[in-house]
Amino acid sequence: MAVTVNRQFCKGCSICIVFCPKQVLELDEVGKVYVKAAEKCISCGLCELRCPDFAIYVNGKGGN
């Protein structure tokens, strides 16, 4: 998986979801982000860049 979410840091602001070009992330029933479709991730890093709480880390950043 290219995207890792630290749910303890996530406040559920949804910024990462809005900026993800491949709709990889989603909010769960408690309002925390989770990786819904890891296979779609292109490792662009937009979610990590925009997260105000440093709750997301992207492995193998490079974009496609």
Domain borders along the chain are: 3-58
pLDDT at 35: 96
Question: Which contacts of 40-49 are long-range, i.e. CB under 8 A and separated by 24 or more positions?
Answer: 41/1, 41/2, 41/3, 43/2, 46/16, 46/19, 46/20, 46/21, 47/3, 47/16, 47/19, 47/20, 48/16, 49/19
What's the pLDDT tens digit per position in 11-27?
Answer: 999 999 999 999 999 99
Residue 37 pLDDT level (bands cut at 50, 70, 90):
very high
* Mean predicted confidence (pLDDT) in 45-57: 96
The CATH number corresponding to 3-58 among 1.10.10.10, 3.40.30.10, 3.20.20.70, 3.30.70.20 equals 3.30.70.20
Structure pTM? 0.85
pLDDT at 59: 87
